[in-house]
Structure formats: C-alpha cells, structure tokens
Amino acid sequence: MENSPHVPFFYPIIQELEAKGFKVVLTARDCYQVCGLVDMYGLSCHVIGKHQGKNRILKIAGTLLRSIRLLAFAIRQKPDLALSHGSRSQLVTATVMRIPAISISDYEHTQKIPFVRPDEFIVPEVVDANQCWMHDTKIKTYPGIKEDVYVPFFKPDRGILEELGIDRSRLLITIRPPATEAHYHNPMSEDLFFYAVEYLSDRPDVQMVILPRSEKQIPWIRDKWSDLCQSRKIIIPEGVVNGLNLIWHSDLVISGGGTMNREAAALGVPVYSIFMGSIGAVDRYLEKTGRLVLLSTPSDMREKVRLEKRPIGEREISNGHEALRVIVGEIVRAAEASAGL
C-alpha cells in the first residue's frame, strides 16, 4: 500500500481473502496518510520505505531502494502472489523473484516502468485497455469504479462535525489540494485551488475543511490564509480523519483529482474537480453520468459550482458489491494457480 487510498480499498479485499483461508502479508510505504490510516483500520503492516518528494532522480532512487528492501522481505516471506494498486517497487521485486504479480489501476496515464510488467492487470470496465501502458499484458476488468469496492460498507458518524468544530448552519465544503509531488501534476491545478479558496472565502455562509496531501502543504496553507485559519473559516484537521465520513457530511467537495472526487461521486455528494492533468476514463465516465463536474477556469468556478445546502437524505451510497466480488475472484484464481491448488 503506497498511497492513502490504498488502505480503504484493500481493507475489504483483505477481509474477503482471509475469510477464504488465505494468509495476507501487508507492506506499506510511509507516504501521506498511509500509516495513520493503517492504524485507523487496525491493520498489521510492515512499513518499508517512504515518499521521496517530487524530484525525479530521488523518485527513481527511492523506488529502487524500496525494491531492494522489499526483496529482502519477500525472500523471508516467500509469497505465492504479489498484489498492489500500481506499486512500482513491488512490481520490480516480483519481476526479480519471478513471483506472479497482479497490479490494479484506475488511471491509464501512469508512467511506464521499462522491462517490468505484472502478469495480470485489473482495471474498471470503462477504461479502454488499448490506452493502458499495460495493454500488451493480460487485462481483466471489473464493473463500476474502484471506490465501489469499499464505499458500500461505509456507515456515517455525525461525531466528526463536533470533532472538527463545524458550524452546522454554514455550508460545509471539503477541499483537497492538487498532488503537487505527483508525476502527472499540472501547475494550473494549483492556480484553480488558490482561486477556489479565495472565491469561497468571500462567502460568509461557507466553512472550508482543507485536507492537505502532505505535511509540506500544511504550513503553506496556514501561512497563505492565516486569518481564515484563525477565524476557523478554514479548518485543517489535526491528524488523520475518515475521509468518507467528512465527504458524506459535506455539502460539496472540490478536489485536485483522484480518489476523493470518486469517493464523493460514489456517496452521491456534489463534487467538482480542479485536476488539470490528463483526464482519465473513469472521470470522463463520471462526468458523462452527471456525478462529477470538471472545472478548468476561474469562470467555471463561478458559473458551475452550486453553493447550496444539500440535505443528507438526498444522498445515495453506492451498493456496487459486484466490483469487490469480481476483483477478489481474480485474485483467488491467480493465488491458487500460483500455489498449485
């Protein structure tokens, strides 16, 4: 598990596999909120390696170093199957040890790793296999979106409002900044994020909860909007929060792309994307079905974002259990084949 969304995604998969008698050994990268979420979900996990920032050379060196450490770990564990949501380090390790590997992904524009590929690639049905850099390996698909795997198990808890000091009479807007250290980052996303906060700060009936992606973003936000933070117009949670629960109780979500956008769509909460990188098939699908609005200019922010209270009762949680069933079925088949069962 290399990124924050991997923890809730794999949690029900782990439970299903263990219920079927499989032994699951977990590794994680110390990146963003991964370790905090591992603790929140009560998982036993071996933390190996950390995020190296946005410097390309350090990213490559960090991937190779983590691969070496994973190799030593895998030699001791002797796994029958390697499973990840796009972990480059694990894929390198699995290739070296000739361990069958399954890689799951929902974004077709990730960067290719030369000379290594998984034995099987699992993507949502809406992703065109020919657009994936894994198009020449075995590709399996699942219905719906990645978030359908775990969102159906979500149970709301209103305690988060008191915990964060939310004024229930005001519009609650959850905002996720762009992933500034990601290889797919477009600086225009930062411009839209800045404009969004400035635009919303003029509304007296709005309260914003900003969820920084990294520790580095926290002091920048607090310094940039110190008055808004002091007046609690902007709230930055201390520690890890249950993102699904916060989204559920929000009137709308604005995010720099990725999982939070799709989680809001799966929860039936209005969501606006300020992601300016290459738009993936999943986001196009959500836009086409009216579950996500893509923003690309400040005028889009003014004209498309609907600032209104939204009753909780109008929201419908996705019940896409089929996605979990299909993915677990593919994993079980591959694991049994590898173990000779």
What pLDDT is stored for residue 94 in this prediction? 97
Bridge-partner residues for 30, per DSSP?
50
Residue 90 CA to residue 24 CA, distance in Å, equals: 15
What pLDDT is stored for residue 314 in this prediction? 65
Structure-token match 């709301």, residue found: 156
Residue 279 CA to residue 21 CA, distance in Å, equals: 39
Nearest residue to 15 via CA among 42, 47, 33: 42
Half-sphere exposure of 228 (CA within 13 A, CB side): 22
User: And the tokens for 74?
Assistant: 């895998």
Nearest residue to 264 via CA among 143, 122, 154: 154
Residue 248 CA to residue 253 CA, distance in Å, equals: 10
Model-level pTM?
0.91
Residue 59 CA to residue 182 CA, distance in Å, equals: 10
What pLDDT is stored for residue 110 in this prediction? 80
What pLDDT is stored for residue 232 in this prediction? 96
Domains of the chain with bracketed CATH: 6-151+321-339 (3.40.50.2000), 155-314 (3.40.50.2000)
Residue 53 and residue 182 in contact, taking contact as beta carbons nearer than 8 Å: no
Residue 270 CA to residue 73 CA, distance in Å, equals: 43
Residue 218 and residue 212 in contact, taking contact as beta carbons nearer than 8 Å: yes
**Average pLDDT per 10 consecutive residues for the chain, totaling 341 residues:** 95 98 97 92 95 78 93 97 96 96 91 84 88 72 95 94 94 92 75 96 96 90 96 95 95 92 94 93 96 96 95 73 96 95 80
What pLDDT is stored for residue 134 in this prediction? 57
Residue 94 CA to residue 175 CA, distance in Å, equals: 37
Residue 304 CA to residue 31 CA, distance in Å, equals: 33
